[in-house]
Structure 1
Amino acid sequence: MRELGLDYAGLGQLFRALDGDEIAVFEIRAEAASSIADQLGIAVRRCYISDDSIDARARATGRSPGDIVAARLPDRGSTMAGDFGEILTSVFQAAREHPGELFDAKKWRLKQDRTMPAPKSDVVQMILPHWPQPSSEDRLICSEVKTKSTHGSSTPIADAITDSRKDSDGRLVKTLAWLKERALDTGLTTVTVEMLDRFTKAIDHPPSSREFSAVAVLCASIDLAAELQDVELPSRAERAVVILTVPDLKDYYERVFDIALTGVESR
């Protein structure tokens, strides 16, 4: 996650933990969200394409860096909202693990259609504290993310729990196989085939742990108690349930994506 250029120590202090027994609730206050919008804009852009790739494609095509980035970013709407929720979750988990290092394949870079969500499991991150030496401290975190930025009938918490079970029931295994194919085919710049093999070839390595979480990214104005009504929460041993609240979420993620695009020319 270092390639995003974020201050994870500082970011970790901006996610304010609220009391929760069965779920973990964190809020980003309005002033904190405003203070990191520019940072997140850069990070969002780098989740879709690296700075080196922008420059290489600009030289190869004769088009501006802005044109290159625009060809990667989703349009405003549900895909942009979902992508932002996934990226925020990825950043949040990196901040939680700091000063430890997380490795993330940046699935958003592998989209075949910018207008659609990235396939497979939402956020897959590896913690390898002694890499390149595998160890029993190695962990794999798989998070299913649902985003709700406006008031409506969707049920993001319940849906995240349901779909997180798909990850533990086999989708994560398929995701790792798919990521390895992409690493062998087009190449990945943030994880290696060896890192993926560490979690897919269990017999060749020390035991590792797999952690599953259901994450809901909500607008702060949404009634959390109402969202939790009738939701059957899993035990924490089965999977974590995490809620991230952001003020004026729709306006905020649109602002961050605008920064991701307009800021490329002034890098």
Structure 2
Amino acid sequence: MLDLGIDAATLAPWFAEEHKSPYVVVRVPDEHAAAWADLLGVPVRRCYIEDSLLDERAAATGRPKTELVRAKLPERGSTMAGDFGEILVFLYHAAIEPEVDLIGPKKWRLKQDRTKPAPFSDVVHFVLPHWPEASTEDRILCSEVKTKSTNAESTPISSAIADCEKDRTSRLAKTLVWLKERALHEDLGTTTVAHIERFTNATDHPYVQKEFRAVAVVCASLVDEELADAPEEEPTDYTVVVIAIPDLKRRYEEVFDAVHATVAELGDGT
């Protein structure tokens, strides 16, 4: 998280669990959500482009940084909502394991079309406590994320559960192959080819524990109704998480407005 400019220890108060079985419910306090525009502008910008690359491209193209960042970010609408939900779960992983050094590819940097979601599994983190040595303590955290910020005809909990099954059966494996191929040609930041190969070359290393989550990020005004769609029994091979955020649409739009403001503060020079 430090490469995003945020201390993982500060995230825990955002994600206090109030219900743990057969599913997890997290209700983000309004005072924390209201502060996100001030706190997340720079971290969210770095999810899409790292500072050094922004400087490099501004120098190489002669184009203002505001234009370069605008060309990476989604417009307001469903893709922006979905991206925000995924980034929030990226932070949630760190919040629930604050003592663990998570290695996570920022997939939003790898988009080929800013108007569409990033492909494959939504949020992936590697846990490698004895790196560069492989160990039986190595883990993968994988979350499928669905976001619902308005009263639309969608079922984020059941949809996240259905797509989480795809992660468990085949999509995570395809995600790792895709990430390795991208890492061969692009800088994924703290995630390296060697990190990914620890998990793609499974027969060469100890068994890896995989932890799957189906996560619904829902506006707090809608969450009680959506919980009717939650499982009545606790799943055995994945965890269902529902994150309720007050005035979700307003909050994520404020955060993305703040991203643009942070670029303006940098200035358009290098």
TM range (shorter): over 0.9
* Aligned equivalents of 1:174, 1:21: Cα separation in 2: 31
Partner of 1:25: 25
Structure 1 letter corresponding to 2:264? E
In structure 1, the residue corresponding to 2:222 is in which secondary structure?
Answer: coil
Match of 2:10 in 1: 10
CA drift of 1:32 comes to 1.1
- Alpha-carbon distance in structure 2 between the residues aligned to 1:249 and 1:123: 20
Alignment of 1:5-154 (within 5 A): 5-154=5-154
Note the C-alpha offset of 1:232: 4.0
- 2:141–2:212 contact (8 Å) kept in structure 1: yes
CA distance in 1, matches of 2:229, 2:247: 26
The CA deviation at 1:266 is 2.1
Map of 1:242 onto structure 2: 241
1:165-204 alignment, distance < 5 Å: 165-204=165-204
Distance 1:155 1:14 in 2: 24
| C-alpha distance 210-57 of structure 1, shift in aligned 2 (>3 A) | same
1:259 equivalenced with 2:252 (yes/no): no
Identity %: 53
Residue 189 of structure 1, CA deviation: 1.9
How far is the alpha carbon of 1:229 from its aligned partner?
Answer: 2.4
How far apart, CA to CA, are the structure 2 residues paired with 1:262 and 1:193? 34
Please, which moves more after superposition, 239-248 or 34-43?
34-43
Q: TM-score, normalised by structure 2?
A: 0.94
| Residues 25 and 144 of structure 1: CA distance in aligned 2, closer, same or farther (over 3 Å) | same
Letter of the 2:252 counterpart:
Y
* Cα offsets for 1:158-184 (capped at 9, x unmatched): 000000000011011001000000011
Cα-to-partner distance string for 1:228-247 (whole Å, 9 max, x where unaligned): 32544564431000111111
1:106–1:190 contact (8 Å) kept in structure 2:
no
CA distance change for structure 1 residues 216 and 230 in 2, over 3 Å: closer, same or farther?
closer
Segment drifting more, 11-20 vs 75-84: 11-20
Q: Distance in 1 between matches of 2:233 and 2:135?
A: 29
Partners of 2:217 and 2:202 in 1: how far apart?
A: 33
CA distance in 2: counterparts of 1:243 and 1:178, whole angstroms:
28
Distance 1:166 1:234, change over 3 A: farther
Aligned length: 266
Greater Cα shift, 127-136 or 117-126? 127-136
Shift of the 24–231 alpha-carbon distance from structure 1 to 2, 3 Å rule, reads closer
Aligned AA for 2:42? I
CA distance in 2, matches of 1:133, 1:139: 13
Q: 2:28 touches 2:246 (CA, 8 Å); kept in 1?
A: yes
Q: How many Å apart are 1:130 and its aligned residue?
A: 1.4
Q: Alignment RMSD, CA only? A: 1.4
| Deviates most, 97-106 or 36-45 | 36-45
